Structure 1
Amino acid sequence: MVGKLKKFFGRKPRLSREQAMTAFHRRYASFKELLQANADLAGILAGLNAAQHGERHMETSQVRKEARRAIFRCDRMAAALNDISGRRHLGLNAAVHSIAGRIEKELDQRTRGDVPSLTLNLTEVDASMAYSVGGKNANLGELRNMLDMPVPRGFAITIKAGTIFLLRTPGLFKSVYSLLRSVDPDKPDNINAVSRQVEKLIREAPVPKEVEDALLKAWDLAYGNDPNAVAALRSSAIAEDGVQSFAGQYRSLLGVTRNDLIPSFKVVVASLFSPRALTYRASHGYALDAMGMGLCCVEMVRARAAGVVFSRHPVDLRSNSIVINGLWGLGEMVVDGSGTPDQWLVSRATGKITKTTIAHKAVRLRLVRHGSGVESEMVPVPDALRDVPCLSDDQVRRLADMAMELERHYQYPQDMEWAVDEEDQIVLLQTRPMGLDSMAEEKAAPILGHLRPLLSGADVAARG
Structure 2
Amino acid sequence: MNAVQTLRKLLGLTPRISRERAMAAFTRRYASFKELLQANADLAGILAGLNAAQRGDRSLETRQVRKEARRAILQCERMAVCLNAISNQRHQALVSAVEALGGRIERELEQHTRGDVTSLTLPLSEVDASMAYSVGGKNANLGELRNMLDMPVPRGFAITIKAGTLFLLRSSGLFRNIYSQLRSVDAEKPSTISAASREIQRLIMEAPMPDMVSGPMLAAWDEAFGAQGDTVAALRSSAVAEDGVQSFAGQYRSILGVRRQDLLAAFKKVMASLFSERALTYRAAHGYALDATGMGLCCLEMVRAKAAGVAFSRHPVDLRSNCVLINGLWGLGEMVVDGSGTPDQWLVSRATRKIAQATIARKETRLQLTHTGTGVESTLVDVPEELREVPCLSDEQAR
Instruction: Name the structure 1 match of 2:281.
Output: 279
Distance between the aligned counterparts of 1:162 and 1:356, measured in 2? 43
Report the AA paired with residue 215 of structure 1.
M
Instruction: Name the structure 1 match of 2:15.
Output: none
- TM (norm. structure 2) is 0.72
Q: Deviation of residue 385 (structure 1)?
A: 2.1
Aligned 1:78-93 pairs, distance under 5 A: none
Instruction: Name the structure 2 match of 1:197.
Output: 199
Q: Deviation of residue 364 (structure 1)?
A: 1.2
Instruction: Name the structure 1 match of 2:52.
Output: 41
Instruction: Name the structure 1 match of 2:187.
Output: 185
Contact kept? 2:127, 2:144, Cα under 8 Å: yes
> Would the alpha carbon gap of residues 298 and 39 (structure 1) be closer, same or farther in structure 2, given more than 3 Å must change?
closer
Aligned 1:212-251 pairs, distance under 5 A: 212-251=214-253
> Would the alpha carbon gap of residues 39 and 378 (structure 1) be closer, same or farther in structure 2, given more than 3 Å must change?
closer
Distance between the aligned counterparts of 2:308 and 2:166, measured in 1? 35
Report the AA paired with residue 126 of structure 1.
D
> Would the alpha carbon gap of residues 134 and 47 (structure 1) be closer, same or farther in structure 2, given more than 3 Å must change?
farther
Q: Give the match's secondary structure for 1:371.
A: coil
Contact kept? 2:137, 2:239, Cα under 8 Å: yes
> Would the alpha carbon gap of residues 299 and 274 (structure 1) be closer, same or farther in structure 2, given more than 3 Å must change?
same
Instruction: Name the structure 1 match of 2:263.
Output: 261
If asked which structure has higher relative contact order (CA below 8 Å, sep 6+), I would say 1
Instruction: Name the structure 2 match of 1:450.
Output: none
Size of the aligned set, in residue pairs, is 308
Instruction: Name the structure 1 match of 2:396.
Output: 394
Q: Give the match's secondary structure for 1:156.
A: strand
Q: Deviation of residue 147 (structure 1)?
A: 1.2
Q: Give the match's secondary structure for 1:143.
A: helix
Instruction: Name the structure 2 match of 1:322.
Output: 324
Instruction: Name the structure 2 match of 1:82.
Output: none
Q: Deviation of residue 318 (structure 1)?
A: 2.4
Aligned 1:272-421 pairs, distance under 5 A: 272-397=274-399
Q: Deviation of residue 146 (structure 1)?
A: 1.2
Contact kept? 1:126, 1:139, Cα under 8 Å: yes
Distance between the aligned counterparts of 1:279 and 1:295, measured in 2? 22
Report the AA paired with residue 352 of structure 2.
T
Instruction: Name the structure 1 match of 2:141.
Output: 139
Contact kept? 1:342, 1:389, Cα under 8 Å: yes
Report the AA paired with residue 303 of structure 1.
A
Q: Deviation of residue 188 (structure 1)?
A: 0.4
Distance between the aligned counterparts of 1:242 and 1:381, measured in 2? 36
Report the AA paired with residue 181 of structure 2.
L
Q: Deviations over 1:37-56 (max 9, x none)?
A: 9994379789747x6xxxx9
Q: Deviations over 1:314-335 (max 9, x none)?
A: 2222222211010111001111
Report the AA paired with residue 360 of structure 2.
I
Q: Give the match's secondary structure for 1:41.
A: helix
Report the AA paired with residue 52 of structure 2.
L
Report the AA paired with residue 158 of structure 1.
T
Instruction: Name the structure 2 match of 1:410.
Output: none
Instruction: Name the structure 2 match of 1:66.
Output: none
Q: Which ranges in structure 1 are unaligned for 5 or more consecutive residues?
A: 1-35, 64-110, 398-464
> Would the alpha carbon gap of residues 166 and 365 (structure 1) be closer, same or farther in structure 2, given more than 3 Å must change?
same
Contact kept? 1:112, 1:129, Cα under 8 Å: no
Report the AA paired with residue 137 of structure 2.
G
Q: Deviations over 1:65-87 (max 9, x none)?
A: xxxxxxxxxxxxxxxxxxxxxxx
Distance between the aligned counterparts of 1:301 and 1:113, measured in 2? 34
> Would the alpha carbon gap of residues 305 and 146 (structure 1) be closer, same or farther in structure 2, given more than 3 Å must change?
same
Contact kept? 1:362, 1:381, Cα under 8 Å: yes
> Would the alpha carbon gap of residues 354 and 47 (structure 1) be closer, same or farther in structure 2, given more than 3 Å must change?
same
Q: Which runs of 4+ in 1 moved over 6 A?
A: 36-39, 42-47
Distance between the aligned counterparts of 2:50 and 2:135, measured in 1? 32
Q: Deviation of residue 265 (structure 1)?
A: 0.7
Contact kept? 1:310, 1:324, Cα under 8 Å: yes
Q: Give the match's secondary structure for 1:144.
A: helix
Provide the identity percentage: 70
Instruction: Name the structure 2 match of 1:163.
Output: 165
Contact kept? 2:137, 2:243, Cα under 8 Å: yes
Instruction: Name the structure 1 match of 2:118.
Output: 116
Measured on the aligned residues, the alpha-carbon RMSD in Å equals 2.6
Compare CA radii of gyration and give the structure with the larger one: 1
Q: Deviations over 1:369-424 (max 9, x none)?
A: 11241011122222332222111223222xxxxxxxxxxxxxxxxxxxxxxxxxxx
- TM (norm. structure 1) is 0.62
Contact kept? 1:134, 1:158, Cα under 8 Å: yes
Contact kept? 1:57, 1:291, Cα under 8 Å: no
- Among 141, 154, 157, the residue aligned to 2:156: 154
Contact kept? 1:114, 1:129, Cα under 8 Å: no
Q: Give the match's secondary structure for 2:256.
A: strand
Distance between the aligned counterparts of 1:113 and 1:194, measured in 2? 36
Report the AA paired with residue 41 of structure 1.
A
Q: Give the match's secondary structure for 1:391.
A: coil
Q: Deviation of residue 258 (structure 1)?
A: 1.0
> Would the alpha carbon gap of residues 323 and 112 (structure 1) be closer, same or farther in structure 2, given more than 3 Å must change?
farther
- Among 125, 128, 131, the residue aligned to 1:129: 131
Q: Which ranges in structure 2 are unaligned for 5 or more consecutive residues?
A: 1-46, 68-112
Contact kept? 2:136, 2:240, Cα under 8 Å: yes
Distance between the aligned counterparts of 1:153 and 1:198, measured in 2? 32
Report the AA paired with residue 373 of structure 2.
G
